[in-house]
Amino acid sequence: MVNALLLILVSICSIELFSFAATQANLLLFNDVPDVYQRRYDGESWRSQKEAWGAWHKPNSTDRHRSICFDVRYQANEIGARDSPFSKEKNGPTPRYILLGDSFAEGWGVDFEKTAQRHIERLTGAEVYNFGSDGYFGPVQYYLVYKNLARQYQHDGVILFFLPANDFTDNDFAVWKNLYPTWYRPYYRKEQEGRYSIFYPDGAVPDENYDERPGFFKHLLMDYTFTGNTLRTIKYLVSRPEQARWDYSGYFDASEPQQEAAVYFLEEIVGEAGQRPVTILAIPNREDLKRIQSGGDYKDQYWYKRLRTLQAERPNVDVIDMAESMPRDYERFFLPCDNHWSALGNAEAARLVAARLLQEPARPANGHVAKDHEAGHER
């Protein structure tokens, strides 16, 4: 009996020691420091999950998000967007654009003044209303937030940040049903004649809060042990085997049914926009760029061909493939501890979008930080 208890104790200590070392080396998918060692600022308390599009922000809320490579504060306006106050009617001739997308549009991990949205505003002189959100936010949600909320605000065009790294899987229930089966978030279902409907999982209930760690035992692990990081990583890898592959590339590896569904909802957004211009920015992550620079050709993928066809068919649609302008030393465009954009990545995305909006030729990125002539901000 004593030997068995000793074995269990040694095993627990070994797992905790391994988890500590792996966390410090940033080797796991989750590398959080337990609350017992510091106050947690995980950027989740300002989020909710009660709208038709699932994840969103609580109106007039604030939050702090701290990681090993950034420490930022978030603030939501009166409708829950990460932005200054909105007005439904325009007050003058200044162009106004609606920005749709996930955490890249929201500005995850960077100060508000360094988000792509703010750079676009400074470079073009236009207003950009930010309807982006973190929270496994995909094309179904882009469509719902545009149709049900953003479209109420008078605007001249739409900017859509499209992230192949997870936009093909975020609304595929087959990917999520074993991970968070009752989260209140929308998924697609294919119907006849190539159409798609939207559904919510059985048992899903709108929630004022957004919590990735429900339950006493999970909170205990996350608050007091590094082992929680290891267990969360294992669960993620088991529950989402395709996207959780270390070498998964959304530019190359999404299934054709997933690509078809994602592009369908992008086209629905174009339809809802009417004659307004829609600028779609395709965003590569590190793994996408690694594959591309190793000689991989993604331009025969369904999503790419269909977006280019859409651009050819609809004169108001402009598709920008950010991968085409990224330099070989692309690491500086991402946070060192995360796969989101750094301040420089946000600035580069804004430069590409602004050039199209202004009908100026976009130059290849040189990896250097320039300055806005008037505002003096990085771009």
Element (H, E) at 23: helix 2-24
Domain range list for the chain: 47-210+242-357
Predicted pLDDT of residue 293: 96
Q: Does domain 47-210+242-357 have CATH number 3.90.105.10?
A: no
The pLDDT of residue 37 is 56
Walk along the chain (379 residues) in steps of 10 and give the mean pLDDT of each run: 75 81 74 63 88 97 90 97 97 96 97 98 98 97 98 97 97 90 94 95 91 60 77 68 72 97 98 97 97 97 98 97 96 93 98 92 45 32
CB-based contacts of 256, cutoff 8 Å, min separation 6: 302
What pLDDT, on the 0 to 100 scale, is given for residue 17?
A: 85
Strand partners, 130: 99
Predicted pLDDT at 211? 65
Q: How far apart are CA 376 and CA 51, in angstroms?
A: 38
Q: Per residue, what are the HEC states of 295-345?
A: CCCCCCCHHHHHHHHHHHHCCCEEEEEHHHHCCCCHHHHECCCCCCECHHH
